[in-house]
């Protein structure tokens, strides 16, 4: 069973898995217009965020994070970012495990909701989000790589 490790997205291990993530996305992105945006450590510091590495037998197999958004009218909302599993580890339920861990950490910081963006070509990711209780919402950001936006209310 994999384990979680908190890391700065700027740490060497985290940066390496993010390079793999962005390289894969760029290669698969329709039209070749993918714009990677490497996260900064400041956005993922407690209690305003966390970046997790997923490890299995000492090897980093994935990552994901949450960061608090500034949406005063919405209450405490966190955004799910950079959820990625190396291709050879997919289909084991680890994406759901990672998402559930991020949700638990957001709840611990009294988050009212989680939001995220994704691209429609990431069908497995979209399926995971919908199965996990996320519903499609209107665009909430200007991410040029996104075509779908989701939200999951945590309160109640």
As beta bridge partners, residue 150 has: 116, 136
SS3 assignment, position 56: strand
The reported pLDDT for the residue numbered 40 is 93
The pLDDT of residue 31 is 75
pLDDT at 27: 87
DSSP H/E element including 136: strand 135-137
Fold of 3-153: Aminopeptidase (3.40.630)
Kindly list the domain boundaries of the chain, sorted by start residue. 3-153
Q: What is the pTM of this model?
A: 0.94
Q: Which of 88, 96, 101, 105 is nearest to 132 (CA)?
A: 96
pLDDT along the chain (156 residues), means of 10: 96 96 87 84 95 96 95 82 94 96 96 95 93 96 92 86
Distance between CA atoms of residues 63 and 14, nearest Å: 8
Burial of 118 (0-12, 13-18, 19+ CB in 10 A): buried
pLDDT for residue 62: 97
Give the pLDDT of residue 132.
97
pLDDT at 54: 98
Strand partners, 50: 66
Q: According to the model, what pLDDT value does residue 126 have?
A: 94
């Amino acid at each position: 069973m994999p384990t979680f490790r908190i890391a700065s997205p700027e740490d060497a291990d985290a940066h390496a898995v993010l390079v793999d993530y962005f390289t894969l996305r760029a290669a698969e992105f329709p039209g070749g217009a993918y714009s990677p945006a490497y996260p900064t450590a400041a956005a993922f510091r407690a209690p305003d965020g966390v970046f997790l590495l997923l490890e299995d037998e000492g090897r980093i197999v994935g990552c994901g994070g949450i960061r608090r958004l500034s949406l005063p009218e919405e209450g405490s909302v966190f955004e799910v970012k950079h959820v990625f599993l190396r291709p050879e580890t997919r289909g084991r339920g680890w994406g759901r495990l990672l998402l559930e861990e991020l949700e638990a950490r957001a709840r611990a910081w009294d988050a009212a909701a989680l939001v995220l963006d994704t691209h429609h070509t990431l069908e497995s990711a979209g399926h995971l989000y919908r199965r996990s209780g996320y519903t499609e919402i209107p665009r909430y950001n200007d991410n040029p790589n996104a075509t779908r936006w989701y939200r999951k209310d945590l309160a109640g």
